[in-house]
C-alpha cells in the first residue's frame, strides 16, 4: 500500500484538497445528468459509486476529523447509499499509512527515542491505519505489543476542518439560529478528546477494569511507560476485526455469544457507569480464536448525564410512548419540542418522533430480541428514506434535541448495526446480573 510522507495540516492546504474533491463530485453530477438525458431509465448507482470513491480519495490523505466524519457516516447503513457505506467503511482500519521515516520522527518527538531504542523489535510498516492513527506491531521482553501512533497535525486541524464543513452541515440538517452552535461544539470537543492519548490511556485502564467481569469480553493490557500524548502501547491480541468475522461466520451460536457480550458491555456502561464507548464500528473490536469479543479502542467515551439519561430511557418504555401527555413531557425535557414551536411544528415533530421511537426502541420492549430481523432493519431504512425525501421537514427548524443525542444516537445506531451483522439473538436483561445493587 502507498505510504504518506506528509499530511496537509494548514487550513488553506486542507481547504484546497476539499475544493478539488468538490469539483470532481460536481463533474460526476454533470456526467450523470448528461447521460440521463440520453437514457431516462438510468439510476443513481454509478453516480453514488463515483462520488463515494472521489470523496473517500480526497479525505483519506487528509486524515483526522475529515476522515473521521466518513467513518461515522459508514456506520449509518440504514440511510446512506450502499456505495458510500462500502467505501467509507475503509476508513475504519484500511487507509494509506504514514511512511517509516515519518513514524520514526514522531517517536523521537514524543518519546525522545526512536522505536528501535524502545522495543526489542518494531515493524516499520503499519498493520492497520484509520482516521486518527495507525497501529504497528512490536515486541518487548517476549511480549507482543500493538503500538498506536497518531498522525501529525490531527489535533491542530480539527477546528479548521469543522469550520469548513459547518456551512454544508447547517444547510444539510436545516439548523437555524445561534442554538445550533452547541452541536458543533460537542463534536469538536469529542474529536479533540480522541487526539489525547493520555486521556485514552486513562479511559482504557478504567473501562477494562470496570467491565472485566462481563462474560466473553476481553481487553488488552496497557503499557503507560511506552505511551505518551501521541503514542499508545498495548498488548497485541490476535484476532479478526468484527466485520471480517461476520463476512464468513455461519454459526449462529457464535454470533449469539459475541453479540450478547457486546450488548451486555454497552448496557452495563450505559445503565451503570453512565458513560459509554461511543464509537462502535467494526474496526474497534476483534474476535479472538475462542470467539471472545475484544474491545481495543477507548478514545471516544461519552458521559451520560442523569438529566438526559432518565427521559431518554423512559422514552424506551411502551407505557410512556403510548401516553400522549407523558410522551410530550419527555420530548420537551430532551429539547425535541421547543417553547417557541408553532402548532404546526409541535404536531409535526410529535408525530415524527412517535413513529421513530415506537420502532427504534423495540429491542427494549421484551426480554429477548433477534437482531437478524430484516423486517425491523428494513423499516428503519424505509423511515430514513422517507425523512430524506420529506420536503416539509426541510422547511422546519432542524435544531432538535439535546446535544447529547449526537453521540448517544450514534452509539445505538452503531451497536444495532454490529448486532445485525452478527445476526445475534439477545437476552436484553442479561447485563443486569453485572450491576451491583
pLDDT tens, position by position, 69-114: 555 554 454 445 565 555 555 444 455 677 888 889 889 999 999 9
- In the prediction, which pLDDT does 151 show? 81
Instruction: Tell me if 387 sits within 8 A of 393, measured CB to CB.
Output: yes
* Residue indicated by cell numbers 493490557: 221
Residue 189 has pLDDT above 50, yes or no: yes
- In the prediction, which pLDDT does 424 show? 98
Distance separating alpha carbons of residues 40 and 276, to the nearest angstrom: 48
Where does 199-277 show beta strands of DSSP type E?
A: 217-218, 231-235, 240-241, 275-277
- Highest-scoring range by mean pLDDT, 167-176, 388-397, 399-408: 399-408
Give helix then strand counts, H and E, for the chain: 18, 13
Instruction: Tell me if 300 sits within 8 A of 408, measured CB to CB.
Output: no
| Neighbour tally for 185: CB within 10 Å | 11
Output the pTM of the full model.
0.81
Question: What sign for the dihedral angle of Cα 314, 316, 317, 318?
Answer: positive
- In the prediction, which pLDDT does 74 show? 46
DSSP state of 222: B
Per-state percent for the chain, helix, strand, coil, to nearest 5: 60, 10, 30
pLDDT tens-digit profile of 211-233? 999 999 999 999 999 999 999 99
Instruction: Identify the CA nearest to 130 among candidates 60, 230, 82.
Output: 60
Strand partners, 133: 150
Instruction: Tell me if 127 sits within 8 A of 90, measured CB to CB.
Output: no
Residue 169 has pLDDT above 60, yes or no: no
Lowest mean pLDDT among 190-194, 269-273, 288-292: 190-194
| Neighbour tally for 83: CB within 10 Å | 18
- In the prediction, which pLDDT does 209 show? 96
Residue 263 has pLDDT above 80, yes or no: yes
- Between CA 75 and CA 61, with CA 230 as vertex, the angle to 5 degrees is 50
- In the prediction, which pLDDT does 389 show? 72
- Which run of H or E residues covers position 160? helix 154-172
Q: What number is the average pLDDT over the span 104-126?
A: 92
DSSP state of 43: -
- In the prediction, which pLDDT does 75 show? 47
Amino acid at each position: 500500500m502507498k505510504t504518506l510522507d506528509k499530511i496537509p495540516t494548514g487550513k488553506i492546504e486542507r481547504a484546497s484538497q476539499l475544493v478539488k474533491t468538490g469539483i470532481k463530485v460536481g463533474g460526476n453530477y454533470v456526467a450523470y445528468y448528461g447521460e440521463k438525458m440520453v437514457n431516462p431509465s438510468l439510476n443513481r448507482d454509478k453516480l453514488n459509486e463515483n462520488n463515494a470513491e472521489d470523496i473517500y480519495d480526497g479525505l483519506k490523505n487528509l486524515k483526522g476529523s475529515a476522515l473521521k466524519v466518513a467513518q461515522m457516516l459508514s456506520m449509518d447503513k440504514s440511510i446512506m447509499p450502499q456505495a458510500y457505506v462500502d467505501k467509507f467503511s475503509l476508513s475504519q482500519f484500511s487507509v494509506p499509512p504514514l511512511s517509516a521515516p515519518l513514524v520514526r520522527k514522531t517517536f523521537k518527538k514524543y518519546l525522545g527515542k526512536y522505536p528501535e531504542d524502545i522495543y526489542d523489535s518494531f515493524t516499520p510498516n503499519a498493520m492497520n491505519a484509520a482516521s486518527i492513527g495507525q497501529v504497528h506491531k512490536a515486541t518487548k521482553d517476549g511480549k507482543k505489543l500493538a503500538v498506536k501512533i497518531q498522525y501529525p497535525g490531527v489535533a491542530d486541524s480539527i477546528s479548521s476542518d469543522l469550520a469548513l464543513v459547518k456551512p454544508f452541515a447547517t444547510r444539510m440538517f436545516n439548523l437555524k439560529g445561534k442554538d445550533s452552535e452547541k452541536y458543533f461544539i460537542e463534536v469538536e470537543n469529542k474529536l479533540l478528546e480522541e487526539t489525547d492519548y493520555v486521556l485514552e490511556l486513562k479511559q482504557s485502564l478504567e473501562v477494562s477494569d470496570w467491565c472485566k467481569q462481563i462474560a466473553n469480553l476481553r481487553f488488552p493490557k496497557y503499557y503507560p511507560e511506552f505511551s505518551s500524548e501521541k503514542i499508545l502501547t498495548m498488548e497485541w491480541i490476535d484476532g479478526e476485526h468484527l466485520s471480517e468475522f461476520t463476512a464468513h461466520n455461519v454459526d449462529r451460536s457464535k454470533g449469539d455469544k459475541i453479540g450478547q457480550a457486546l450488548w451486555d458491555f454497552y448496557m452495563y456502561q450505559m445503565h451503570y457507569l453512565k458513560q459509554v464507548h461511543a464509537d462502535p464500528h467494526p474496526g474497534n473490536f476483534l474476535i479472538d480464536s475462542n470467539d471472545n469479543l475484544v474491545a481495543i479502542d477507548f478514545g471516544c467515551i461519552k458521559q451520560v448525564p442523569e438529566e438526559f439519561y432518565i427521559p431518554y430511557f423512559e422514552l424506551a418504555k411502551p407505557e410512556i410512548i403510548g401516553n400522549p401527555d407523558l410522551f410530550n413531557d419527555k420530548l420537551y425535557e430532551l429539547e425535541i419540542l421547543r417553547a417557541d414551536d408553532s402548532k404546526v411544528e409541535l404536531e409535526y415533530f410529535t408525530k415524527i418522533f412517535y413513529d421513530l421511537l415506537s420502532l427504534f426502541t423495540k429491542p427494549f420492549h421484551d426480554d429477548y430480541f433477534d437482531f437478524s430481523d430484516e423486517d425491523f432493519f428494513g423499516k428503519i431504512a424505509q423511515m430514513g428514506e422517507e425523512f430524506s425525501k420529506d420536503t416539509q421537514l426541510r422547511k422546519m427548524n432542524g435544531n432538535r434535541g439535546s446535544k447529547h443525542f449526537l453521540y448517544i444516537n450514534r452509539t445505538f445506531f452503531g451497536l444495532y448495526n454490529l448486532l445485525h451483522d452478527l445476526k445475534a439473538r439477545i437476552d436484553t436483561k442479561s447485563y443486569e446480573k453485572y450491576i451491583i445493587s
